[in-house]
Structure 1
Amino acid sequence: MTLVLAIAAGGLIGLSLGALGGGGSILAVPVLVYALGQSPAQATTGSLVVVGVTSLIGAVTAYRSGHVLLARGVAFGTVALGGAVVGAKASTHVPGPVLLACFAVLMLVVAAVMALRLWRRRGGAGDHPRVLDEPIITFSPTFACQCPRALKVLVTATVVGLLTGFLGVGGGFLVVPALLLALALPMEYAVGTSLVVITMTSAMALAVRAGVGVAPDWWLVLALTAASAAAAVLGARLACRVDTRRLQVAFTVLVLVVAVYTAARALPSLV
């Protein structure tokens, strides 16, 4: 029964990651803790495997569909790696209940930011790329720098990496808003490009966590990963056929629902 539950949950995680570019990690951690009996430390490590592998497959599918800005994703992910290392090391010194409480609070904040963005854009035109081909820093023929935007990307990517390593999340529910706000990408490009960033930061955070703390039940993690990876391909194809505004609404609702549930379970344990 546990294995069946892991496969079913993996399917939902993969659909979320493939279609929305996020949500997988915020589903993986609660599923591993509350449904599959893993400790918070085990869950945050196992989720990195699930989300990292699934994101890689989803990124390849999205790239073939033309919805990945590879150079921007790699650049953003490279900056985020430093934060991921620091966050992963810091997480080993924090009690499980505190990790889950921080996880819930972060999701509530992200849901609020995304809801506010949707509210401000209600009734307006859809997202269109404004700066897709406009580099932030150039060296030829002369050096030029859009320094305010460069600073915004630097700070945003570092924070994303830090939280990814600390909470053991893939960062999709952080990376998508970051790419929307820092790089002004339209939703369909932010979703695909975020998968590149998630793959990079998850791999780095997992490498730092290797051999530290209690290992998760790898059979459950592998079952979750296999089901998630298969569903991610379907999710990425679905993203190409669904209105981007609906994707934003679904993304926001998903984060909010899981945040409320996790908060209800985690916060009382701190009292």
Structure 2
Amino acid sequence: MEFLGYLSLFFVGLVLGTLGGGGSILSVPILVYLFALDTVMASAYSLFIVGSTSLVGSVIKFRAQMVSIKIGFTFGIPSVLAIFSTRKWVVPSIPEIVWQVGPLTVTKRALILGFFAFLMIMASLLTISKKNQACHKPGEPKPIAFLILLGIFSGFISGLVGAGGGFFIIPVLLYFTSLPFKKAVGTTLLIITINSLMGFMGDVMNYTLNWSFLFSITGLAILGICIGNIFTKNLSASGLQKSFGWFILSLGSWILLQEVFCNS
């Protein structure tokens, strides 16, 4: 199972390089189901893996002029305090048994993964149904204040589930800005880098980490993103967008079914 886990983490980087998101929605289940880590520690490791990998990817995309620095920091910086605070104080304060009535028990794991899967499904439906045009015309002022609010919400989500947030950020950028899909991918990688690495700093203060294991699996993901970036040059933006939507819909549905029926 661990060999499959290492191979899968290479695929995490491949997906990030190709689609600009989905790394965290892969890495958390991989660490939970294949490496048998608890949900909180898996989300902490995921933040470092996805953040480091996205840093490499954002540099590659920036050199190809596929990153909007202004939108990236407008969205990313407000989320820093939200994700750091969530990892530092909110996640550790959630009890292991969140709610129990008779035989019905909602655990911390079920709450985090269930919320994770629900958001994935909602974001995937928006991505699949979204046409290439943004909800406002190019040249119109971008909704800066709303992007800031969405950045804070994205930071909370990223902190709670240990995700970089690409599955949520890409649909937001497509819908509320005039960025084309490939530039939204590059900008998302920049935002994921900010979110994930700052969120991970909150975990460094709370948990003892296996650094040798963490560096080894992160290296595989970085190799994957370098290869995935090569693939995107020959793929259409509309095809990538639809593939991203169906990918996160499939994985979100699987996680939800796994937690409801297999761990109930």
Displacement of 1:270 in angstroms is 7.4
Find the partner of 2:122 among 109, 112, 128. 109
Report how many residues are paired. 249
Which of these residues, 218, 223, 228, is aligned with residue 235 of structure 1? 228
Q: Cα offset for 1:65?
A: 1.4
Give me the whole-angstrom Cα distance separating, in 2, the residues matched to 1:111 and 1:78: 24
Checking the alignment, whether the CA contact within 8 Å between 2:84 and 2:202 is kept in structure 1 is yes
Give the whole-Å Cα distance in 2 for the aligned partners of 1:84 and 1:32: 20
1:128-154 Cα shifts (integer Å, max 9, x gaps): 8954x7765xxxxxxxxxxxx123212
Residue in structure 2 matched with residue 90 of structure 1 by the alignment: 90
Percent identity reads: 28
- In 2: Cα distance, 1:240 partner to 1:212 partner: 41
Residue 99 of structure 1 contacts residue 167 of structure 1 at CA under 8 Å; is this kept in 2? yes
TM-score w.r.t. the length of structure 2 is 0.87
Instruction: Determine the structure 2 residue equivalent to 1:142.
Output: none
**Residues 92/267 of structure 1: CA separation in 2 closer, same or farther (3 Å cut):** farther
Q: Distance in 2 between matches of 1:8 and 1:130?
A: 42
Q: Report the equivalent of 1:182.
A: 176
Is the 1:11–1:231 Cα contact (8 Å) retained in structure 2? yes
Distance 1:101 1:86 in 2: 21
Corresponding residue of 2:97: none
**Taking structure 1 as reference, are residues 266 and 221 closer, same or farther at Cα in structure 2, changes over 3 Å only?**
farther
Q: 1:16 maps to which residue?
A: 15
In 1, distance between residues paired with 2:259 and 2:27? 16
Between the aligned partners of 2:236 and 2:150, the Cα distance in structure 1 is 27
| Aligned-partner Cα distance in 1 for 2:223–2:76 | 24
- Give the structure 2 partner of residue 170 of structure 1: 164
In structure 1, what residue type is equivalent to 2:24?
S
- Structure 2 counterparts to residues 1-271 of structure 1, below 5 A: 2=2, 4-88=3-87, 89-94=89-94, 95-117=108-130, 121=131, 126-127=132-133, 131=138, 136=142, 149-213=143-207, 215=208, 217-268=210-261, 271=264
Report how far residue 162 of structure 1 moved.
Answer: 1.0
* Structure 1 Cα separation of the partners of residues 210 and 29 of structure 2: 15
Evaluate the alpha carbon distance shift between residue 217 and residue 269 of structure 1 in structure 2; reply closer, same or farther with a 3 A threshold.
farther
**Secondary structure in 2 matching 1:170:** coil
Give the deviation of 1:217 after TM superposition: 4.5
Q: Which amino acid aligns with 1:241?
A: N
Residue pair 1:170, 1:201 contacting (<8 A) in 2 also:
yes
Q: Which TM-score applies when normalising by structure 1?
A: 0.84
Q: Is the 8 A contact 1:156 1:182 kept in 2?
A: no
One-letter code aligned to 2:259: A
Whether the 8 Å CA contact 1:6–1:220 is kept in 2: the answer is no
Q: 1:23 to 1:232 in 2, by over 3 A?
A: same
Segments of structure 2 that go 5 or more residues without pairing to the other structure are 95-107
Between the aligned partners of 1:252 and 1:77, the Cα distance in structure 2 is 22
Cα displacement string for residues 169-195 of structure 1 (whole angstroms, at most 9, x for unaligned residues): 011111111211222311011000101
